[in-house]
């Protein structure tokens, strides 16, 4: 059978519009398509492949576990899950871990836990969840409704209730909504999909204080910012603001599907047997790979490397901008970088992404006017330079056109 891009339109549900080429092989920060064309990867599978493609340590962990045991279900526990949970607990504020298979599912667990905790401790009336406009928390109906883009949750019938949205980085907006009826505030320390927008330290600190005043749990969605992306293991460590619940996925498995919810003993104890679960959550294969990923990322070499590589990116983008003046702002933290286009190119981020692919470079967008970079945390400096050169070629053509 001939596998081509046109087969996608024939057999796949049309909820995605993938690029015209089909990658078949990856190594480090390079990818090759069916025609043998090579691409430099600044996209990282949307902040997932934190150690690049087919990193030998991850491949080794996967193959090792593949020969031992793949799946048990939660009727039994398993060694990789316990080892990974121990590493996550030892290296964060958390005492307890719940495993899921994705970011959305991890957030679903966090939201359900917050509701259950508030109901048990304070009563039924404490059910309000506050999140932020432009925030993104997944595509399950609960998480997409908590997300701050109604366009993603409209059109599917009645939505889960008692969910409100405040303005990101605007503490008065949260103050106006929060009360003793609030059971949780969910926030990304840096909005990813919403435009690569870091919270200001004063804002995040004030959010924490408001949550404390009203006995509301603070949930950090670190699905995109977690596992080294910002230069710390988790983004909250940049701010010295500690959440009550933290969710992590994407880079956690380095490309193998896994998610986790981290919390404290006092909160975790409300999810008693039978209250929540997942067939695959804590799957040995996923946990073995994630254990290798976390242990590899959580070293001074890799984390300090993120900061140095981020600076290379920033300097390179600034140089390109001196020449072509296409970015109004370059922002982010560590290796999650957003380049907001000037008014002249407003709404054209997707065109930049396609033009980059034509030059052999994969980048992402975050909204209509922001080009986003989320490369491997260990991308070689030479690949950063070569990729930026391709990006500059793409921009030169865009500017001429």
Ligand X SMILES: *Cc1c(COP(=O)(O)O)cnc(C)c1O
- Residues annotated catalytic, as ranges: 136, 221, 250
* Binder among 29, 65, 78, 102 for ligand X (CB under 6 A): 102
Rounded Cα distance between 193 and 296, Å, is 26
Burial of 23 (0-12, 13-18, 19+ CB in 10 A): middle
**Binding marks (x or -) toward ligand X, 226..265, rule CB under 6 A?**
-----------------------xx---------------
Please report how close the Cβ of residue 257 comes to ligand X at its closest, in angstroms.
Answer: 8
Instruction: Say whether residue 103 binds ligand X (CB under 6 A).
Output: yes
Query: Is 221 labelled as part of a ligand binding site?
Result: yes
Closest CA to 188 of 301, 298, 50, 47: 47
Closest CA to 227 of 372, 112, 84, 57: 84
Our CB check for ligand X shows the closer of 47 and 384 to be 47
* Binder among 52, 148, 189, 192 for ligand X (CB under 6 A): 192
Residue 337 is given by DSSP the state: E
Rounded Cα distance between 91 and 216, Å, is 24
Residue count at the site for ligand X (CB under 6 A)? 15
Please report how close the Cβ of residue 219 comes to ligand X at its closest, in angstroms.
Answer: 11
Our CB check for ligand X shows the closer of 187 and 341 to be 187
Rounded Cα distance between 135 and 111, Å, is 15
- Angle, to 10 degrees, between the axis of helix 381-400 and the axis of helix 300-324? 20
Cα separation values, 282 from 105, 251, 258, Å: 13, 16, 8
Please report how close the Cβ of residue 262 comes to ligand X at its closest, in angstroms.
Answer: 14
Q: Tell me which residue has tokens 């975790």.
A: 268
Our CB check for ligand X shows the closer of 107 and 376 to be 107
* Binder among 138, 189, 231, 235 for ligand X (CB under 6 A): 138
Q: List residues binding ligand X (CB under 6 A).
A: 102-104, 107, 136-138, 188, 192-193, 221, 223-224, 249-250
């Amino acid at each position: 059978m001939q596998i081509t891009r046109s087969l996608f339109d024939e057999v796949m549900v049309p909820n995605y519009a993938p690029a015209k080429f089909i990658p078949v092989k990856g190594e480090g920060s390079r990818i090759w398509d069916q025609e043998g064309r090579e691409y430099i990867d600044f996209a990282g599978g949307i902040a997932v492949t934190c150690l690049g493609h087919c990193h030998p340590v991850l491949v080794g962990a996967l193959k090792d576990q593949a020969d031992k045991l793949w799946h048990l279900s939660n009727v039994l526990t398993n060694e990789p899950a316990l080892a990974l949970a121990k590493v996550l607990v030892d290296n964060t504020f958390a005492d307890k871990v719940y495993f899921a298979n994705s970011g959305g599912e991890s957030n679903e667990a966090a939201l359900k836990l917050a509701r259950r905790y508030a109901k048990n401790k304070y009563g039924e009336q404490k059910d309000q969840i506050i999140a932020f406009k432009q925030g993104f928390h997944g595509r399950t109906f609960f998480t997409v409704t908590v997300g701050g883009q109604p366009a993603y949750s409209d059109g599917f019938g009645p939505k889960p209730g008692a969910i409100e949205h405040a303005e990101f980085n605007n503490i008065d907006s949260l103050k106006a909504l929060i009360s003793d009826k609030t059971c949780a505030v969910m926030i990304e320390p840096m909005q990813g999909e919403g435009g690569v927008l870091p919270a200001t330290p004063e804002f995040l600190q004030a959010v924490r204080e408001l949550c404390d005043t009203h006995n509301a749990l603070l949930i950090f969605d670190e699905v995109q910012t977690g596992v080294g992306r910002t230069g710390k293991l988790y983004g909250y460590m940049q701010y010295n603001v500690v959440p009550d619940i933290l969710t992590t996925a994407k880079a956690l498995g380095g490309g193998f599907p896994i998610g986790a919810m981290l919390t404290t003993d006092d909160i975790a104890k409300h999810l008693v047997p039978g209250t929540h679960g997942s067939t695959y959550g804590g799957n040995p294969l996923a946990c073995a790979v994630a254990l290798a990923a976390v242990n590899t990322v959580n070293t001074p070499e890799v984390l300090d490397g993120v900061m140095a590589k981020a600076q290379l990116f920033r300097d390179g983008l600034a140089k390109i901008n001196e020449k072509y003046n296409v970015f109004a702002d370059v922002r982010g933290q560590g290796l999650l970088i957003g380049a907001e286009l000037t008014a002249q190119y407003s709404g054209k981020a997707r065109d930049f992404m396609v033009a980059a692919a034509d030059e052999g470079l994969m980048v992402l967008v975050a909204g209509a006017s922001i080009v986003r970079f989320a490369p491997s945390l260990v991308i070689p400096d030479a690949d950063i330079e070569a990729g930026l050169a391709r990006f500059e070629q793409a921009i030169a053509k865009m500017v001429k056109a």
